[in-house]
Chain A
Amino acid sequence: MPQEYEKDAYPEPPKQTPVTEKETTLPNPALITSKLFYYSVDLPVTKFREIIDGIRGKNKYHYYHQNFRRVPDLTECVEGDYLCYYEAEMQWRRDFKVDQEILKIMQERLRACQQREGHSYVQNCDSQVKDFNQVAQAYNSRYGDLGAHANSRRCLMKQKERMIEQQQKA
């Protein structure tokens, strides 16, 4: 099934394909191949999907986005309170997953920009590249070398190291 996304969220720029006027009587091979593709692949697939949607259209049901409550962090836990540790750990894992998805979305945007622009992506995709670099750097500094057995505690230790380094630099 295709990925669902709001088409109005990141609108594509208007298409800039020029209107070609036919100047010769020779047939245009690109037009022929596109028509061939349309009739042999595009039309049957669309028809099939419409049939299936017609069958499925009667009982529509929904799924929702789950929002989790925020719980106290690992830094706000009393030492020895393992319940607090557990909740903080679970919250950290959820945040880790969310950050991974954010990174994937930035990558997807960059890829879409490159696909849209074609060969002129070097010049036109600047803002996307900047945003992606920023997000990737932030992700790296926070979750970078934690490895497969990443832990909220190890992440906290990494943050401590970063703060120590910053202090030593200043």
Chain B
Amino acid sequence: MVGMSVLRSAAALAARLNPVKRVSAGTLLSGSALRTEKAVVRYGSHGKKMFVIQPTGYYDRRFLNLLKYYILLTGIPIAVIVTLTNVFIGEAELAETPEGYEPEYWEYYKHPITRWISRNILDDPAKDYEKMMALVHNEQEKRQMRNMHLEVRRHMRQKGDGPWYHYDTLDKSLIFSGHKATPDD
């Protein structure tokens, strides 16, 4: 008796813990999904309002907005300027250098913006070349001076007759070469 009741309560507990799917006869035969009966409810609003829990999009949205802002801050003026120059000013055309005419250094470029940059911001390429040549010349002079210095040192050390590598000796007239008091002096 007690075992039976214990068994029954255990069965009830098991049934509550692991709900077994009650397979009805109709679903066995059909084999399709279980027919759920939806409650027909007509709302006056846009359906049942759900509180959807999502992770915050604040930081992502803020980042994207700032990115768009900072890109467009300079992007739009640049795009406008480039479009207007391409439409209204246009690129140059290749032409033969006229006789006796030396083109300015910016007239060797095609696009108007490149020409503007070359004219107003950058130096004449010939000037850049000369600047580089000046640096090379300075370094060459320094090298030549240093080499000469070393060679002169070598010569003076070898021969010993230059202003370096000779050590001051006593004046000959200061040496007393007369007879000394003791014969060992």
Contact = CB atoms under 8 A, between A and B. Distances in A.
A54 to B, nearest CB: 11
Contact of A66 (B87, B96, B108, B140): B108
A52 B87 CA distance: 6
A121 interface: no
A62 B90 CA distance: 11
Contacts of A83: 133, 136-137, 140
A62 B94 contact: yes
B94 A82 contact: no
Contacts of A90: 129
A87 B115 CA distance: 26
Contact of A64 (B87, B108, B133): B108
Interface string B136-148: 1101100110000
Contacts of B97: 64-65, 67
A61 B115 CA distance: 12
Q: B90, B95, B137: which has the most chain A beta carbons within 10 Å?
A: B90
Contacts of B91: 1
B136 A82 contact: yes
Interface in A26-68: 52, 55-56, 59-67
Of the candidates A64, A82, A87, the one having the most CB atoms from chain B within 10 angstroms of its own CB is A64
A1 B90 CA distance: 10
B135 to A, nearest CB: 9
Contact of A62 (B87, B92, B143): B92
A87 B137 CA distance: 12
Interface in B115-156: 115, 129, 132-133, 136-137, 139-140, 143-144
A64 B115 CA distance: 12
A67 B96 CA distance: 11
B14 interface: no
Interface residues on B, range: 20 to 34
Contact of A86 (B95, B107, B133, B143): B133
A4 interface: yes
Interface string A66-94: 11000000000000111100110010000
B60 to A, nearest CB: 40
A108 to B, nearest CB: 17
Contacts of B89: 56, 59
Contacts of A1: 91
Interface in B72-96: 87-96
Contacts of A52: 87, 90
B55 interface: no
Contacts of B103: 63-64, 66
Interface of A: 1, 4, 52, 55-56, 59-67, 80-83, 86-87, 90
Given A62-B95, A80-B144, 15 more contacts: A4-B93, A52-B90, A59-B89, A61-B92, A63-B107, A63-B108, A64-B108, A65-B94, A65-B97, A66-B103, A80-B140, A82-B136, A82-B137, A82-B140, A83-B133
7 contacts: A55-B88, A64-B108, A65-B94, A66-B108, A80-B140, A86-B133, A87-B133
Interface of B: 87-97, 103, 107-110, 115, 129, 132-133, 136-137, 139-140, 143-144
